[in-house]
Amino acid sequence: MKKVFVVEDDFSIARLLQVYLERDGFAVKCHTGERDILEVFQAWRPDLVLLDLMLEETQGMDILRHIREKGSCPVIIVSARGSVPDRLEGLQLGADDYIAKPFDPEEAVARVKAVLRRSAYLADSEVVRLGSLIIDYTAQTAARGQTPVALIPRDLQLLAFLARHPNQYFSREQLLDRVWGLDFAGGDRAVDAAIKRIRKSLQEWPESEGEIVTFKGTGYSLRVY
């Protein structure tokens, strides 16, 4: 049974999500304000977090940052702040999806299932090696030789996918489908932002071993020579 941690100040919304998720067989714990959010997260070890940005005692973005520092647990933001800049900020910090309020609870459950399916699929990739670059998706790490490469989980997922398909062209839409999922609402700018961060993290990786190539602003390929 997969565990979902609902971090939401509005009791009616939290209860609605709990009812629909439990109907589909999920174990659900809702944040009640009685204990520290991160304390509950670390003790319960959920498989996914549904996170509201507008919390009374803290900012949701701060919670997201702390969760990302602890590991790769999928996080879906659920917020009334649905503007493009708000979505991009959350996605750039490593959120896996973004649901704007008001929302259909059945759609929220579908997005939870989709994110968990993608996480399970990508975890099957295990270790990919390209020259000195080693990507271990199971351990959620990347390294050049003995030097760790700092990547947020979504960027590691994208790099792992490209590394499993070297010298193949993928459009932004294809990458969104394969890594983010077709139901992802953040738009293809999320791909560009992720590629930019990956390139920055790999700026010292020798081009003789590989490089991410842009195709006329339409897509990308990980070229291996």
Q: What is the pLDDT of residues 179-196, one digit of tens each?
A: 887 566 667 788 999 999
The answer to whether residue 85 scores a pLDDT higher than 70 is yes
Could you tell me whether strands 3-7 and 27-30 are parallel, antiparallel, or unpaired per DSSP bridges?
parallel
Residues in the chain: 225
Domains and CATH numbers, the chain: 3-122 (3.40.50.2300), 125-223 (1.10.10.10)
How would residue 115 be classed by pLDDT, with cut points 50, 70 and 90? confident
Whole-prediction pTM: 0.60
User: Whose CA is closest to 74, among 160, 13, 2?
Assistant: 2
- What pLDDT is attached to residue 216? 80
Nearest-angstrom CA–CA distance, 95 and 123: 17
Share of the chain above pLDDT 70, in %: 88
Amino acid at 44: W
Question: In the beta sheet, which residues pair with residue 178?
Answer: none
pLDDT in tens, 30-74: 987 667 888 899 899 999 999 988 776 677 888 888 887 776 788
- What pLDDT is attached to residue 122? 53
- What pLDDT is attached to residue 51? 93
38 burial type by CB count under 10 A (0-12 exposed, 13-18 middle, 19+ buried): middle
- What pLDDT is attached to residue 23? 95
| Mean of all residue pLDDT scores within the chain | 84
Share of the chain above pLDDT 90, in %: 26
- What pLDDT is attached to residue 178? 82
Range in 56-65, 68-77, 85-94, 209-218 the model is least confident about: 85-94
In sequence order, what are the residues at sequence separation of 6 or more whose Cβ sits closer than 8 angstroms to the Cβ of residue 122?
137, 157, 160, 161, 179
- What pLDDT is attached to residue 212? 92
- What pLDDT is attached to residue 28? 97
Average pLDDT of span 154-171? 86
- What pLDDT is attached to residue 207? 79
Beta carbons of 222 and 166 less than 8 angstroms apart? yes
- What pLDDT is attached to residue 57? 64
The answer to whether residue 123 scores a pLDDT higher than 60 is no
Nearest-angstrom CA–CA distance, 26 and 100: 22
Both structure tokens of 121: 């699929």
Structure-model confidence comparison of residues 92 and 203, the more confident one: 203
